[in-house]
Structures are given as structure tokens and as C-alpha cells.
Structure 1
Amino acid sequence: MTLPGIADHIARLAILASLWGTLAMAALLLVLVMRRDRKERSRAATETNNRSLTREILAALPAAGRPGEAYRQASPEQRLAAVSHLSRLVRGEDRLRLTAFVERHHLVDRVLAKARHRRTSRRVDAVRTLGGVGGSQAVAALDAMLRDDKALPVRLEAAAMLARLEALPSANVLITALALEEVPVTPLHHALFRALAPHRADELLALSLRNFPPGLHALVVDALGWTEDYSTLEMLGEAARAADAEVRLAALAAAVRLNHPAAGKWVLPLLEDPDQDVRAQAARACASMGLRTALPLLDRMRQDPSRWVRLRAGEAVATLGGGA
């Protein structure tokens, strides 16, 4: 084959390769467009079905009637998702009717099967679904999982859902179920104890006398401030003299929450605490509680070795209307 013939052959091959490449790219682009179109149509249909399902459930609540076609065609997961969505929107009598609807139509039964799944993540999902659905069946199931599930993440999620449903068990149960004598205390633990505090003042007072690790002792003391019970002030005064700075800090936080002038007699000495964090928090507490008798000491604290304490003392003096 001559050189010009070879060149022509190569040119034809290049043209064919370019043509087939263009066709392949066009086909791929068409597939992507069709897939995107199907997804958008499916999403639109799902949103329409969800709206219809939600409307039917809402319409069935007042008269305790049966929902319509959209409900009958929906999967159990779709029904639960719709109920969970509604539970975040309705209040009062409508919430009670929604709970009755859930129990009347046995929507919890399928979730309970997931709650016994071997995988921890599936059980956590089941706990969240139960928390969104609510009702006596859901509360009973969550309480059982809090007490008996072998995985701490599941028990912790169950406690959070019970708090959301205002159905937390006693503080003693939480301490045992969440292994609070063994694990570090987290903000979620604080939120749980603060949630139960208004109904458990006597129990928390009794727990504050027990020999707990510092973190757990501080957790209980902090919760006393959320009881809205001034009879806890005496116990908080004892906590303010505890050996652990963490407990003293919790006592100060509780005093600020209760905001009772009787706490001033043990808040003021903490301005001279050996721990700089306690001194700084005590300065903030004095400002928050309006303890003007602390002004002379706060003024001296502006020369404290700790820069953080000096800052808080200066802020407190300014808040209380002291001199420059």
C-alpha cells in the first residue's frame, strides 16, 4: 500500500472513531436526561402522594374515620413517615387524636419488629420512628429499649425520644440505663436531667447525697437548678463547698437558674475560690443575680492573676454599675 493510501485509510479510521464517539456521547447524554426526567417525575409523584396521604390522615382525625385511597395504597413506611411529619406540626387535642389514630391502625407494630433487629443502626432508626409517632405503645416500647437494649447508643436515643414525648423515667433508671457512673457526661445527659428535673426534685435531692463520680455529681447538682424548687438551695450551698471544682461550677449554674437572693451567701465566697474557672463563673453569677454586695471584691478581682477572671470581673462590675 502506497503512502497516500495509508494516509487515506488512517483518515477514514479517525473519522469513523470520531463518529462513533459522538454517537456514544449522544446516547449517554440521552440516558442521563431520561434518568433525570424519571427521577423528577417520580419525586413529583411522591410529593403529590405524600400531600394526599397527609390530608387524608388529617381528615380522619376529628371523626375517627377511615382514611381514603391514598392511605390504602401507601406502604407502611410511607404511612409512618406521614404520621411522624404530622406529629411535629400538631398540638393539643389534634396530637391526642393523631396518637389514637396510630394505635387504632396498628402503625407501631411494624416498627416494633425493626426494634428487634440485630443491627444497632436499624434499632436506632426504629427508636427515632417511635419517637416521631408517639402514643402509649411507642412510649412503652421506648421505655423497654432504654432499660433492656444491649447497645448504649440505642438506649441513649431511646432516652432522648422519651424526653421528647415527656415520658422520661426516674433519674435512677437513667443513671443505670445510660451507665452514667462509667461514661463521661455529655450535653445530652444534661438535657435529659434538666427535662425531668421539674417533676423529680425530691429524687434529685436524694441523689445529690450519694457518692457519685464528680461528673455525675455535677450533673445532678446542675439539674437541681431546673427544679424551680427553692428548697434545693440548702443542698446547692453544700455542693458549693464540694471538693471537686466541677461540682462547685454546677452549683453556681443552678444558682443562676433559680435566681434566688438566698443563694448569695454561698455564691460570694466562691469569688475567692482557688480554681480560676470557679472564680470566673462566680463573677458571672453575681452579675446575673444582681449581687451588688459583691462589688468591692469584684473590683479587686480585676487584678486577678487569671486573665479570664479579670475579664469576667470587669464585666460583672460594669453590669452591677460599679466604678471604672
Structure 2
Amino acid sequence: MESNSSSRARRILTFLLFSTLLCIILITNDAKIVLEGKLRGTSIQISVVEEEDIIAEQAGSYKDAITTAQNKYHFHGDSEQVVDVDKSNEYDNDSKQEDTETNVHRLSCMYSSPRIIVSHACSGSSATVKFAEKIFNAHGLKEKKILLYKANLIKEDIVETLKDLEAALTITYRKNTLDKAICVIRDCFQKAPDASFGHQVYSNGTKADLCFSRRNSKVLIKAMITNKDRLVKYLKSTGKKHQVSLDKYSFFINSIDDTVAYEDLFAFEYTDSEETFEKSVDNWMTFLRPFRLNLDRDIVLNTLERYRNSRNATVHSEVVYNMDVLHTALDGTPYEVFVRG
């Protein structure tokens, strides 16, 4: 029988193989390659957008893993490259750019210390990773790479490996569970038919089958609520998932206060309120604190400034086909406050 030490060594070697593979992805302004690492089982599933292909799971060597990944996703590079961050598009005036240049940070990525954003599906994880990229870029990326994974499921054996590797982990979640539920319907993320509470439709009510690809479609896809009781049950249960994450990953988090909701990270995009903007900056500082990168608040503020009051909140009548059913389901429940329009 394999000893505990041998098993741990094998897990670490497997993880380091894929960590080294992912470290050739450079987070730069010119190369916006968002590589999602979904950690399942005993290997890392690498996915671009929502593809689920395992890259080089059985790779016999580091070279095999690199070659397979290059052929699959058409990215190239090597871990010794030196890259200067391009700041030309990050700031709107000379003073902000000059201020950033005098406060350049070199953010190191140690291959043995991955950084992971944990976020359940439909919780704004893509936007969160994108803005984390922007913040890292604004601090400067010169000698090393940021090894950044996005994960929505980390099984117990991988959790143990992450402990061995001294991984840095932070958690975000969605407070408005109705937004999450509508997204789950529109992206076809409901796996169990007996728990389904809706399906995606076109604007005229005809059932659609675009699923996740609807995000890249110009056709408006709405959510049709088909089971009110299951919807309410989902809203109740999904709120508890965040607490489960806190319990499961408590080893990596210094304080529950380090976890920040998606809505609090991005509140600044929907208003010109100075107070809201300052709170969002503070929330980003708190959210990224577990990554141990010594971020500069002024640089974070300048990075977010250009996106301030840049979006309008979507009203639910624009994305839900049968609003009458939604109101009937939620009226008188704690979740009716989540409805917008």
C-alpha cells in the first residue's frame, strides 16, 4: 500500500506539472487569454470559456504537456520570458500614468504557490477574474507571472495538495441569488431534471437550446420560470453554499471578512457616488488581500476609475419571459427584494 508521504509527493508532482504549464500564460494588456483552471479529481481541468477538455492529463513529461497545450489553444511562450506591462491604455491622463509608473510593483508568481479565485457558477466569476487581471497589470508585470486559477469545485484530495503547496485562495459569491438563478436557467446549468425550475427561451417564448453559447450570441435569450416551488427552494439552498465554501476553505482564509460579494466588488460600475466608489476600492483590496501581493490602494483606485458609472443595471423584465410567474413565486418571501423591475 502506498505510504502517505509517497501519495503526497505524487499529488504535489502532478500539481506542479500543470502549475508550470499554466505559468506560461502571461497576464498582459495585449494578450487577454483568460485561462480557467477548474480543479476536479486529482488533475486540473483547463478550460477556455466553458470547454471541459483535459489537457495532457496523462502527459509523460513537461514537454508533452506544453506541446499538447500549445496545439490545443494556440498559445506560445516560455517561462523565462520578460514582459513589460503596457500601460498606454490603462489610464486616461498623464498624471495617473506617471503616478503608476513611480509605484510599479513586481508581482511574483511562485510556481509552488498558486492563487485561486473560488466562485460558484453564475456568480460573476468571469468579470472578477478580468478585473483582477487589470489590477495585476496596473501594478506591473516584469519578471514573473501570476499563476491565477478560477475554480468552482475543489475536491478534498486537491484541497490537501493546495495546503501542501501553500496556495493562496480568495472567495466571492453572489448575494442576489435571484440573479444567479436566472443566469443558471439562461446558461442551462441545471443538471438534474427533477430539480429544474426553468429553461431558456427566445423573446417570443419559443424554447431555445443555445445554453452557454448564448453569451456570444446577438439573439436575446430569456429565462422562463416553469416551477415556482423549485425556484424558491433553489434560492434558499444556494444562499447556504457560500457558508459551505467558507467552512471548506477556512484553512486558506484569515477571516470571514476577507470574502466579498460580487455586488460589493462591482457596485461602482452602476453609480457615480463617491462613497460607493471608495467602498468598492476597499472591497477589492479586501478581496485580493489573501493573495499576499502587497497591492497599492491608489493603483487599484486608478484602475477602477475608468469603469466608474459605466453600466446600467439590468431589470429582470428584460431577461425573464414570464415576470407574472416570478412575482407570484416570490411575493411575500424574503427574496422579493431581489426583483428589479
Judge same fold: TM > 0.5, yes or no.
Answer: no
More strand by share: 2
More helix by share: 1
Give TM-score, length-normalised by structure 1: 0.22
Higher relative contact order (CA 8 A, sep 6+): 2
